[in-house]
A and B are shown apart, each in its own frame.
Chain A
Amino acid sequence: MKKLVIGAGAAALISSGAQAADKKIGATLSSLEFTFIAVMAKGMTDHAAKLPGVKLQLEDAKNDVANQLSQVQNFIASGVDAIIVNAVDTSATQAMTDAAAKAKIPLVYVNRQPINVDTLPDNQAFVASNEVDSGTLETKEICRILKDKGKGKGANVVVLVGELSNQAAVQRTKDVHDVIATPDCNFMKVVEEQTGGWKRDAGQDIVTNWISKGVKFDAIIANNDDMALGAINALKKAGISTKDIPVGGVDATQEALKAMQDGDLAVTVFQDAAGQGSGSIDTALKIAGGAKVDKKVYIPFRLVTPANIKDYLAKN
């Protein structure tokens, strides 16, 4: 009897071990050139390493749609248990969805929302932070700061937009305008808006150009931290105090947090890149294990200000 139990236990161990070893996940990321994607990739590999028997194969699509599609087809051909896609082009995801659906392999989109998100088949999902939150949190905080400064009667803001082809840039910029359209914050007015392509030197150059034009503004809202840091450089060079002009960004990068500690950056928003990475793996494993998941799995954004910065210093 005892022998039998041990035997059954061993069999169970072996079978679960074999089952776990079966879990091969193929992931293709848009481009490791972007810091955020790199942090996300690290979150994925770290998380996968902690899960026994889960094998993660990571590919860089190098910002090439065709590359990405063929990587997905290769994953399918090599019989992975789940596929994770961080889409190069969010409007070209249908082909990947179709390929995975045909092969009956679960597919999880991460970070970048696919255009077909509402028509995804049952074994596919989208893991990300709700992009609407980031620009909204940022702009609301700038709105609050301006009111605190007694500028609630009327304030000019300038906006630094990310890469024009990027959905996050479009959404965050729309958020700025949406918040300003609310009665609470409609004292704010966007007087200038330009794209700095996410880059710090471009952010600095654009703000310097605005200053040279004599644009009067009370706050700078940037789609990401790097452009915000560039804007801060430009203000300092022009002898304008960041105490007078609050600057906001998104991402909570190490340097942004440092700038916040120095009193230069007023607000940033933490998007949990590593959390999205590990979340995509968990979701992929859940679907592969036959569980039902929501079509959209959200990893929350968080507002970072000088008041709560301590919680985020070690996160990114």
Chain B
Amino acid sequence: MTDSSVAAMPGARSKRKAWPAELNALIGLIVIMILFEIIGWIVVDQSFLMNKLRLSIMITQVAVVGILAVGVTQVIISGGIDLSGGSIIGATAMIAMSFAQVGTNARAIFHAQGWVDLPIIIPIMVGLSVALICGLINGLLIAYVKLPPFIATLGMMVSARGVALWYTKGQPISFPTESFMAIGDGLMPVWIFIAIAALFTLILKFTVYGRHTYAIGSNEASARMSGINVERHLMQVYVIAALLAGLAGLVLVARAQTAQAVFGTMNELDAIAMAVIGGVSLSGGRGSILGTALGMLIFGVIFSGFIFLSVDAYYQNMVKGAIIVGAVALDQWRQKRQAREV
């Protein structure tokens, strides 16, 4: 990991003003939007973009994964990877929902104990606690036991899904309270995403936490030599990633008004893809939340665009895969070119 990030370093520090990776994503987003707009007029005879409802659903349908992607982005910038997000969503969703059920539902998980119609803060705290535990385990295994992040979070991916399944033996949990549903109602997921994205943009840009995250991702050895407590910092990075996954899980159940053990499956890969499309380098040290947000929008636009054109979902996945690979290929090519210019 460190070798490749050392190689990437001179590129990032190129004397000429570098072409920011986010710009690629922005151009990609605009090109895709214009394509759908033009095809829309030809095939459907209406505007793709001049439609308030469509614009809002484009963002709403990807906001939950977007929240997860913010956490994943800072992990990738720190030179690691987090595969456990989707499963943490599942585990958080199930356990939190069991504390958010209405009392009129006689089958509520904790009906006998009387833990129903609880104030919204309880399921939120329970959910975030579940995520916190997952994050602490990830962090411990990576920072102190020195497991590669891929392996540690792969283990968590499998185990957290196991927890989600074990909790009710696969049965869904339903009938949440009105106040809990409000977290996922209407544009709420979008507002939460924007708040989180803005917060972490500031944190990564202007705080010590942010600088250390980039430093460790660029070159862990030199970060250590310059006095950064790498272990403690990585611990924080993975805990924050897990907490954001937990938050995504809470928003998802509130939106779906039901919790199922499969929730979040494959979301970790979508989140990583969003970051990568947005120019976050898998070798660490480079990238931004803005890039990831653009990657997220590309996903949302494609999803809506294909439904708009009544295209089968089969093609949607094929195109998604091609975009991910294309974005990384472009990024690699740019890195090489910049490295030559130094």
The residues of A with any CB-CB pair to B shorter than 8 Å are: 32-35, 37-39, 41-42, 164, 192-195, 197, 199-201, 204-206, 208-214, 226, 229-230, 233, 237-238, 253-255, 258
Contact = CB atoms under 8 A, between A and B. Distances in A.
Contacts of B312: 195
B223 interface: no
A214 B252 CA distance: 27
Contact of B313 (A195, A201, A253): A195
Contact of A238 (B53, B64, B165, B304): B53
Given A38-B169, A42-B169, A200-B257, A213 B57 contact: no
Given A195-B312, A201-B252, A204-B256, 20 more contacts: A33-B260, A34-B262, A35-B172, A41-B170, A193-B310, A197-B313, A200-B256, A200-B257, A200-B258, A201-B61, A201-B256, A208-B53, A209-B57, A209-B308, A210-B307, A211-B53, A212-B51, A213-B51, A213-B308, A255-B257
A35 B307 contact: no
Given A34-B170, A258-B175, A194 B307 contact: yes
B258 A237 contact: no
A192 B310 contact: yes
Nearest to A238: B53
A261 B172 CA distance: 20
Interface in B40-67: 44, 46, 51, 53-54, 57, 60-61, 64
Contacts, number: 88
A96 B168 CA distance: 30
B169 A208 contact: no
A194 B313 contact: yes
A17 B205 CA distance: 74
Contacts of B238: none
Contacts of B212: none
Contacts of A238: 53
A206 B303 CA distance: 9
B148 interface: no
B57 A205 contact: yes
B314 interface: yes
A210 B255 CA distance: 19
B107 interface: yes
Nearest to B161: A33
12 contacts: A32-B165, A32-B169, A34-B170, A38-B169, A201-B64, A201-B255, A204-B255, A205-B60, A209-B54, A212-B54, A254-B107, A255-B257
Contact of A226 (B44, B252, B258, B314): B258
Nearest to A202: B61
B258 to A, nearest CB: 6
A195 B303 CA distance: 12
B262 A212 contact: no
A42 B252 CA distance: 27
A174 to B, nearest CB: 15
B186 interface: yes
Contacts of A255: 174-175, 257-258
Contacts of B258: 200, 226, 229, 255
B261 interface: yes
Interface of B: 44, 46, 51, 53-54, 57, 60-61, 64, 107, 165, 169-172, 174-175, 186, 252, 255-258, 260-262, 303-304, 307-308, 310, 312-314
Contact of B171 (A35, A200, A258): A35
A212 B175 contact: no
Contacts of B175: 255, 258
Contacts of A226: 258
A33 B61 contact: no
Nearest to B52: A212
Nearest to A193: B310
Contact of A213 (B44, B170, B172, B262): B44
A38 B171 CA distance: 6
Interface centre among A41, A200, A209, A230 (most CB of B within 10 A): A209
A253 B174 CA distance: 10
B313 to A, nearest CB: 4
Contacts of B53: 208, 211-212, 238
B170 A37 contact: yes
Contacts of A194: 307, 310, 313
Contacts of A42: 169
Contact of B170 (A33, A197, A211, A233): A33
Contacts of B51: 212-213
B174 A254 contact: yes
B171 A213 contact: no
Contacts of A209: 54, 57, 303-304, 307-308
A40 B106 CA distance: 21
A38 B170 contact: yes
Contacts of B172: 35, 253
A75 to B, nearest CB: 21
Contacts of B107: 254
B165 A164 contact: no
Nearest to A201: B256
Contacts of B257: 200, 229, 233, 255
Contacts of B313: 164, 194-195, 197
Contacts of A34: 170, 262
Contacts of B261: 32-33
A32 B166 CA distance: 9
Nearest to A196: B313
Contacts of A253: 172
B169 A205 contact: no
A97 B261 CA distance: 30
A165 to B, nearest CB: 10
A35 B57 contact: no
A246 to B, nearest CB: 21
Interface centre among B170, B186, B262, B303 (most CB of A within 10 A): B170
B165 A213 contact: no
B48 to A, nearest CB: 9
Contacts of B308: 209, 213
